[in-house]
Amino acid sequence: MTQPVRILFVCLGNIIRSPLAARLFEREVEEAGLEGKYEADAAGTADYHVGQAPDERMVRTAARRGFHYTHRARQIERSDLDEFDLVIPMDLENKTDIEALARKPEQRAKIHLLREFDPKAHGALAVPDPWYGGPSGFEDAYDIIERSARGLLEALEAGKLP
């Protein structure tokens, strides 16, 4: 049996954007009938929230849309760059932090911003962090992450990524 493609989604604290991205990606995989072909996890570049559940504001945003998920925050480790096939940061700062952990060109080649797969990105590279914003920031981030997760799966299935 072929090993699943392992994908790590990464944001700063691992309680808002990256856990949502991992779970929405898993939902896309399930809806496409591709269970077992892909695995997703999430981590943060910082250790602020290690062990915590997702931010309640995003959990409520997702629940209003009928989507429920759980996660426990963890910090990215250097070994993740070997263990995962793709590492998907939410913004350029996260990408820079992950690239600093990379020891080999093969590890750097695994890193792709999530918005690379957003058909409505129009050149925007970051999934905005809604931490300090109001409810509309969480709604916007959810929409971006949902579109991008779908776009990532489409790119994978089209053979555009490993």
Is 129 part of the annotated catalytic residue set? Answer: yes
Q: Which of 41, 91, 118, 129 is catalytic?
A: 129
CA dihedral 127, 152, 16, 23 (to 10 degrees): 170
Is 11 part of the annotated catalytic residue set? Answer: yes
Is 57 part of the annotated catalytic residue set? Answer: no
Residue-wise DSSP of the chain: -PPPEEEEEEESSSSSHHHHHHHHHHHHHHHTT-BTTEEEEEEESS-TTTTPPPPHHHHHHHHHTT--------B--TTHHHH-SEEEESSHHHHHHHHHH--SHHHHTTB--GGGG-TT-TT-------TTS-HHHHHHHHHHHHHHHHHHHHHHHTTS--
Q: Which of 11, 118, 147, 150 is catalytic?
A: 11
User: Residues with catalytic annotation?
Assistant: 11, 17, 129
